[in-house]
């Protein structure tokens, strides 16, 4: 599989698992093409042309020739200077012949534009009954906060290491998060856990969460008790990072009773408690691992790839 094929396949898997209407994603891409067409020639120099076919700003090829053959990859949740240097050493001293570094969390240009993918959260909230204009206005405030927070970050630090060592590198963020969100949403709709303890049991039955529990990072109820009824469950695991801190009252008003997420800041959690919502933290790294594994399962339906796991990742297959 060529690097470009892997990249575009990951994007398509992300779209297939996106909870938004596919027509909405098509509109986003059409709008990008129209915006690009309106740019002056000197402005086009600064335009990221991947946006013409990739609706996920946090997923990019960060280094490498698109025609590179990919047979063996090293994958981690965070792939920074240390992990990149280790990859170089494995290739040079142990002959591992690693073709590509895959990070989950964005680096480089994908980190700089992370806030752009947060817009999808508005559509997801609207699908659960929250007024779209309310969701959009609250999210716009939060998106601005994240954009400003990312402005002073040294985005290219890790990517520069990969470039100087000549190692291809990419990151796959929202497409993998879409996979875990879709997977858990369908699981809860099918199994219909009655109480929070039943929902926790469902999570613990999934290999990635089971392993995390053994490593003392289990799924955990942080608002509510194990005997609370689940009611309407909202899986909050995609869209770049945490959404609006002020949305929780609106969630409760829309009929949502339980939030299941990767993580919640203290301020977000306090607001959720004030809205009398049940909150379950499934686990950050374990959820990321699940999302990547689901995505890689789809990729390996076409071609087998050899994986080296690092930085919190473990390859667990479901289609064999």
Tens of pLDDT along 198-211? 999 999 999 999 99
The answer regarding whether domain 179-284 maps to CATH 3.30.70 reads: no
Residue intervals in the chain for CATH 3.40.1390:
179-284
- pLDDT at 94 exceeding the cut of 90: yes
Of the pLDDT bands very low, low, confident and very high (cuts 50, 70, 90), residue 320 is low
Proportion of the chain above pLDDT 90, given as a percent: 95
CA distance 294 to 13: 10
Mind listing the pLDDT tens digit for each residue in 249-293?
A: 999 999 999 999 999 999 999 999 999 999 999 999 999 999 999
Q: What is the mean pLDDT of the chain?
A: 96
Tens-digit pLDDT profile for residues 12-39: 999 999 999 999 999 999 999 999 999 9
Q: The pTM is what?
A: 0.96
């Amino acid at each position: 599989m060529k690097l470009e094929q892997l990249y575009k396949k990951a994007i398509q898997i992300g779209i297939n698992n996106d909870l938004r209407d596919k027509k909405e994603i098509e509109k986003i891409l059409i709008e990008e093409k129209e915006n690009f067409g309106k740019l002056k020639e000197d402005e086009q120099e600064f335009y990221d042309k991947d946006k013409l076919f990739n609706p996920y700003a946090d997923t990019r090829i960060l280094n490498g020739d698109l025609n590179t053959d990919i047979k063996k990859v090293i994958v981690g949740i965070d792939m920074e200077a240390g992990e990149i240097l280790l990859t170089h050493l494995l290739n040079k001293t142990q002959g591992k012949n690693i073709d590509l570094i895959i990070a989950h969390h964005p680096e480089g240009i994908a980190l700089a534009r992370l806030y752009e993918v947060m817009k999808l959260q508005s559509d997801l909230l609207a699908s659960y009954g929250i007024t779209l204009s309310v969701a959009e206005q609250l999210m716009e405030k939060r998106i601005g906060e994240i954009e400003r927070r990312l402005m002073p970050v040294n985005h290219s630090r890790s990517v520069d290491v990969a470039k100087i060592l000549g190692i291809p590198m990419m990151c796959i963020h929202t497409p993998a998060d879409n996979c875990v969100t879709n997977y858990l949403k369908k699981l809860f709709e099918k199994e219909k856990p009655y109480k929070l303890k039943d929902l926790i049991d469902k999570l613990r039955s999934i290999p990635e969460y089971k392993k995390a529990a053994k490593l003392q990072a289990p799924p955990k109820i942080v608002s509510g008790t194990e005997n609370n009824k689940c009611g309407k469950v909202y899986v909050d695991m995609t869209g770049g990072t945490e959404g609006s801190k002020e949305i929780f009252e609106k969630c409760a008003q829309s009929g949502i009773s339980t939030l299941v997420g990767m993580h919640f800041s203290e301020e977000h959690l306090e607001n959720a408690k004030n809205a009398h919502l049940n909150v379950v933290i499934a686990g950050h790294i374990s959820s990321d691992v699940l999302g990547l594994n689901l995505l890689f399962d789809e990729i390996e339906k076409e071609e087998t790839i050899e994986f080296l796991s690092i930085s919190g990742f473990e390859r667990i297959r479901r289609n064999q």
